[in-house]
Structure 1
Amino acid sequence: MLAAPTPDNDRERLAALREMLILDTPPEERFDKVVQFAAAEFDVPIALISLIDENRQWFKARVGLDACETGRDISFCGHAILQPDIFVIPNSREDERFADNPLVTGPPHVIFYAGVPLRMPNNYVIGTLCLIDHHPRATLDKTELAILGSLRDLLVEELSNPAEAPHE
């Protein structure tokens, strides 16, 4: 298993993530709806909004997974945040970077992974929107890539504009 390298700008990226005050916050319907839609649209059992801090990936929203975080050292999303665009692993058991990863060999049995980096307006990537399946899949087609990109854009906009406090 190859742990994801640390981005060159990780110190600044982490500071930007902390300034957002989103880590370890309660679930929010607006994010839950995105992962619910993504899981249904792509017919995957797991969809996540994953935020990557120093030591972990924390799930702001999740469908199909009980865990609320995993170690950054074993995360697929740690690799995805280094990509300029969508990162797809059609079959992790056949990819030397992931074949012996505990997330592949044991629960949740990540075999197919597609993650799109959440690049904020300040140009820092704070995490991913990702899709996971327990079975190998072909890479995403042009339409699916466009849909995943649109969901990413929606999330970046939502993350850039914190929800207003409810009016009383």
Structure 2
Amino acid sequence: MAYQADLGNGQKIYLENRGTQTYVTLASSSSGQQQQSSTGIETGTWTQPPQLTQTPSGVNVEVFTQDGSRFIQVQGSSVSVSVQSPGSDRGDALPLRQTSNAPTLPPIEPMQPMQPMQPMKMGDMEMNLNSMEMRMGDMEMRMGKSTPNRSFCPQCGAKIEKSDRFCSACGYSLS
């Protein structure tokens, strides 16, 4: 059997005993997001329902087993176990409700592939990211496939012909 308690601010704690393991599941939800984490701890088989107290520093859980009490301390997302009582600051008792089992988050939908981007135009500038092209005025840049019989100087960007050995604008060696 599992138990749950509301910790406030969209947070809940779920406690479940499976065999000799106690599972502590912390779940939080707010608009647009959910998260949870579970920790399994060897405590022994429960002999009665656990007791839960909330302190300024977190939550204390007392689990009653055949070998005595075990104390589970929860601070934020950290969970630790002890055979000793947490001390005199036991905190305020939190009501536990029986539940069928600990929560499970719905599976995350796989990401869909991106749709091809449409060419963008801004004044005399045009960009096409599908074929990696950009035109602005009389200047063109392409990646992947080269422009037939025409290219640009890697030094200054001036237009050059495939047959050129030097850039006519800056003299850069193209060979």
Normalised-by-shorter TM-score class: under 0.3
Greater relative contact order (CA < 8 Å, ≥ 6 in sequence)? 1
Which one has the bigger helix percentage? 1
Which one has the bigger strand percentage? 2
Structure number with larger C-alpha Rg:
2
